[in-house]
Copies of this chain bind each other. A is one copy, B any other.
Amino acid sequence: MFTLPLTSLVTLAAIILFFVMGLRVAKARGTYNIPAPATSGDPIFERHFRVQMNTLEWLAMFLPALWLGAIWHSDGVAAGLGLVWIIGRIIYMVAYVADPKTRSLGFVVQMLATLSLILLTLFHIVRSFL
C-alpha cells in the first residue's frame, strides 16, 4: 500500500485549516447578524466568506497538484511545497480580513507553491514519455 506519510499529514493540515475558516465564517454570521442562507450584508462577514471561498477554489487545484507531485517526484518535496501553501493561506486569511487590499502577499505565496507542484509533475510526466 502506498502511504506517503508527509503528504498525508500536509493534506490533513490543509483540510483542518479550511475547517477553521468555516468556523470563522459561522462565528462571523453571529457577530455581524447574517442569518443563513444570506452570504452578504456586512463587509467584514463578506471578507471571512470570501477567504473561505477562495481557499475552496485553490484546494481544487492544490490537492491534486500536491498528490501528483508526491507520486511523480517525492513525498518530502511535495509536502514541503504543501507546507508553503498552508503558510501562504494563513497569511492570506489574516491579511484579507484586516484589509482586502493587503491580500496579495499570502495569495502569491500559495499560488507559487501550487504552480511549482504543477511544473514539477509536468516535468516528470513529459520525461516519462521520452
Contact = CB atoms under 8 A, between A and B. Distances in A.
Interface residues of A, number: 44
Contact of A12 (B50, B57, B121): B121
Q: How many monomers of this chain does the complex have?
A: 3
A6 to B, nearest CB: 9
Given A15-B61, A118-B12, A125 B2 contact: no
A35 interface: yes
Interface string A95-130: 010001001000000000000001001100100110
Q: Which 8 A-B pairs have the closest CB atoms?
A: A37-B50, A37-B46, A15-B61, A59-B60, A36-B100, A11-B64, A37-B47, A5-B125
Interface of A: 1-3, 5, 8-9, 11-12, 15-16, 18-19, 22, 35-39, 43, 46-47, 49-50, 52, 56-57, 59-61, 63-65, 68, 71-72, 96, 100, 103, 118, 121-122, 125, 128-129
